[in-house]
Amino acid sequence: MTYRFVTLLILLSSLFFHSACSQNRQTTPQYDTIPLETKIGQMLMVGFHGFSVSDTSHIIRDITEYKTGGVILFDYHVPERSPNRNIESPSQTTQLIHDLQALSEVPLFMAVDQEGGRVARLKTDRDFPQHRSAAYLGKLNNPDSTRYFARSMAKSLHELGFNVNFAPVVDLNTNPQNPVIGMLDRSFGPDTDTVTMQASIFLNEFTKQGILGVLKHFPGHGSAWNDSHVGMADVTDTWDPVELEPYRMLAEGNDPFAVMTAHVLNQNLDSEWPATLSAVIQNGILREEIGFQGVLFSDDMQMDAIRSFYGLETSVERAIAAGVDVLVFANNSVYDPEIVPTVTAIIKDLVNSGTISEERIDLSYRRIIAEKNRLLSGKLE
Question: Domain residues of the chain, as ranges?
Answer: 3-377
Ranges 33-37, 198-202, 280-284: which has the least confidence: 33-37
Average pLDDT over residues 193-202: 98
The predicted pLDDT at position 27 comes to 33
The predicted pLDDT at position 378 comes to 67
* Residue 191: active-site member: no
Which band of pLDDT confidence, cut at 50, 70 and 90, is reported for residue 28? very low
Of 49, 58, 217, 229, which residue is the catalytic one? 229
Average pLDDT over residues 75-92: 96
236 within 8 A of 270, measured Cβ to Cβ = no
The predicted pLDDT at position 305 comes to 81
Average pLDDT over residues 73-89: 96
Highest mean pLDDT among 10-14, 27-31, 349-353: 349-353
Which CATH number does the domain 3-377 belong to among 3.20.20.70, 3.30.1360.30, 3.40.190.10, 3.20.20.300?
A: 3.20.20.300
Summary mean pLDDT of the chain: 90
Bigger pLDDT: 380 vs 371: 371
CA distance 94 to 87: 9
CA distance 301 to 106: 24
Of 113, 185, 227, 299, which residue is the catalytic one? 299
pTM of structure? 0.91
Instruction: Identify the CA nearest to 111 among candidates 211, 187, 210.
Output: 211
- Is it the case that residue 224 has pLDDT exceeding 90? no
The predicted pLDDT at position 228 comes to 47
Ranges 64-68, 126-130, 231-235, 350-354: which has the least confidence: 231-235
* Residue 229: active-site member: yes
Q: For 131-176, what is each residue's pLDDT tens digit?
A: 999 999 999 999 999 999 999 999 999 999 999 999 999 999 999 9
Give the DSSP H/E element, type plus range, for residue 259.
strand 258-261
- Is it the case that residue 5 has pLDDT exceeding 70? no
Instruction: Identify the CA nearest to 268 among candidates 298, 223, 304, 227.
Output: 223
- Is it the case that residue 3 has pLDDT exceeding 80? no
- Whole-angstrom CA distances from 256 to 211, 321, 357 are 10, 24, 28
Instruction: Identify the CA nearest to 232 among candidates 182, 259, 260, 267.
Output: 267
- Is it the case that residue 6 has pLDDT exceeding 80? no
119 within 8 A of 76, measured Cβ to Cβ = no
